[in-house]
Amino acid sequence: MWSQAARSHAQPEPGRSILQLMTTLIPLAGLWAAMMLTVDDAYWATLLLSIAAAAFTVRLFIIQHDCGHRSFFSSKRLNGIVGSILGIITLTPHEYWRQSHNIHHATCGNLHNRGVGDISLLTVTEYTNLSAWKRLAYRIYRMPAVMLGIGPIYLFIIKYRLPLDLIRHRPRLLISIMGTNLGIAGAVLGLGFCFGFIDLLMVHLPIVLLSSAAGVWLFYVQHQFEQTYWRDKKNWDFHEASVMASSYYDLPQPLRWFSGNIGIHHIHHLSSRIPNYRLGTCLAEIPALQSVNHISLRESLSCLRLALWDETAQRLISFKSLRRLRRATAQATVADSAEPNIP
């Protein structure tokens, strides 16, 4: 029933799509130009402007995301062209990202099909069975400073230049990836010769760092919350996972605008063909989904401590919670062994 109601909104509106594209690209270009004008004499102003520029870059990525789902325009070809051009700005090879992200949609919440388009997550059993060094590596990986600092830099600047995870199985993706890399190289050379490579780095690097961190954070909160959904293959259901494995991240304005309503993520997974600008209307028409997996901005901060899927409790837990669980289990074992055997 929810799927049918959602699908009625899965129609792009060309006028709204073009308007959204223009109201994102033009302000972003203006902010970038203002940053270049201030970079030599007032770098503090450049850094302040980079916050707004990063917000518009996130919004631009959401438009590329919609193009990847072929929901931004009715034309498959136009979605591909626009998405590929935007990928040069967002540093994201469009066709590679489209395919890996669609795998994420097809396998979301399935414990046996993790690894593509996901943030790595271990179950309690998997983590417990690791060697000490591998447990340490996983703990470092899940640290907020790594997840939102080093991780985004690696993903957007390094991995996306040659993402080997899908290329091995789909070598034709290399064409799209190299095309994006050539576009990025051309833009860097052109802008560098016009404005100076040092100034270009000082202007654009803060935008990349802030926007990539914000993008990873949004994706993190959309699936890494306490009462999310993970099931083994035999108990996994695609339609159930579409809603229950995704959050409703209820952001205040203007954050909702800049993030293209992507916080309404359970509906997006319910019907990925809904353009971002119609998700709010869809949510308003399905009252039951307004309370499902609802997370406020303040509540979302607690998601950072979650790191492991507890198969018994069916929820995400922190490393601290696992230590408490182990102590309680050990104490119960000692108490049981201390009880006298009464014949």
Q: Which two tokens stand for residue 285?
A: 């028409």
Q: Which amino acid is at 233?
A: K
Query: For residue 284, what pLDDT band results from cuts at 50, 70 and 90?
Result: very high
Residue 325 near residue 278, CB atoms below 8 Å: no
User: Is 90 within a domain?
Assistant: yes
Domain assignment present for residue 241? The answer is yes
Count Cβ atoms below 10 Å from residue 320 Cβ, excluding itself. Answer: 10
Residue 6 resides in a domain: yes
The parent domain of residue 146 ranges over 2-327
Mean pLDDT of the chain: 94
Q: Which pLDDT belongs to residue 338?
A: 58
In a domain, 340, yes or no: no
Whether pLDDT at 2 is above 70 = yes
Say if CB 282 and CB 25 are below 8 A apart. no
What phi and psi, each to the nearest 5 degrees, are found at residue 234? -75, -25
Q: Are 160 and 216 in contact (CB under 8 A)?
A: no
**Separation between Cα atoms, residue 141 and residue 341, nearest integer Å:** 47
Share of the chain above pLDDT 90, in %: 87
Whether 339 is covered by a domain: the verdict is no
Evaluate whether residue 343 is within a structural domain.
no
pLDDT at 340 over 80: no
**Distance (Å) of CA 122 to CA 36, 167, 314, 320:** 44, 25, 13, 15
pLDDT one-digit tens code per residue, 181-208: 999 999 999 999 999 999 999 999 999 9
CA distances from 342 to 229, 333, 339 (A): 45, 18, 9
Residue at 335 is within a domain: no
Helix axes 76-90, 43-68, angle to 10 degrees: 150
pLDDT of residue 336: 64
What is the pTM assigned to this prediction?
A: 0.93
Q: Cβ contacts of residue 151 below 8 Å, gap of 6+?
A: 141, 216
Q: What's the pLDDT score for residue 116? A: 82
In a domain, 243, yes or no: yes
Task: Measure the CA–CA gap between 61 and 67, rounded to whole angstroms.
Answer: 10
Number of domains in the chain: 1
- Of the candidates 104, 102, 138, the one whose C-alpha atom is nearest the C-alpha of residue 122 is 138
Say whether 313 sits in a helix, a strand or coil.
coil
Read off the pLDDT band of 167 (50, 70, 90): confident
Q: What is the model's pLDDT at position 49?
A: 98
